[in-house]
Amino acid sequence: LIIRGQIDAVLAAEAPIEEGLLAERVASSWGLQRITPRVIAHLRSFLDDIRSTKSGDGQRRFLWRTDQDPAKHAGFRLPPPGAGAVRAADLIPAEEIANAAVAILRDQIRMDRQSLARELGRVFGFSRMGARVEAAMEDGVDLLIRAGRVILCGDSVSLPS
């Protein structure tokens, strides 16, 4: 019950949150410095009823509060102005990246995928587009396309009329 309460507190403050980061937050409250597979497995036993989504590559799991519906999630979190700390690209749910892409496309009307990915990287605070950043931004654009929230014409992406 204590661990579940800590999980709920982290979710209340930070959801959606990547499973490994949630594990770090909870483990650190217990004074654990290393997150071993055993710790992750134990924490997962408390996560069965928590809403989750997978990253585009299927390697990461994002956890959501019960009042959040990933399919209807409309927001995205940006780093505070002047903040030195930026979330790692692979810790940003594709749903948030997709929502940021919609906001960008409202202003830009149409963009090629590569430019959109670069602009998304910039919006989320990345000064360089390394492979991880590019992959995460592409996951968000791919989610938009699969959900039918944008139109893909050749290499250009736009919002439906």
- DSSP conformational letter for 91: G
Residue corresponding to tokens 């924490």: 43
Task: pLDDT tens for the chain, 161 residues: list them.
Answer: 788 999 999 999 999 999 989 999 998 888 888 888 888 888 888 888 888 888 767 888 999 998 999 989 999 998 877 666 688 999 999 999 999 999 999 999 999 999 999 999 999 999 999 999 999 999 999 999 999 999 999 999 999 98
Q: In DSSP terms, which residues pair with 111 in a beta bridge?
A: 157
Question: To 5 degrees, how large is the angle CA 26–CA 12–CA 31?
Answer: 15
Integer CA distances (angstroms), 41 to 23, 24, 29, 61, 70, in order:
10, 13, 17, 14, 24
Note the pTM of the prediction, 2 decimals.
0.89
CA proximity to 52, closest of 80, 73, 34? 73
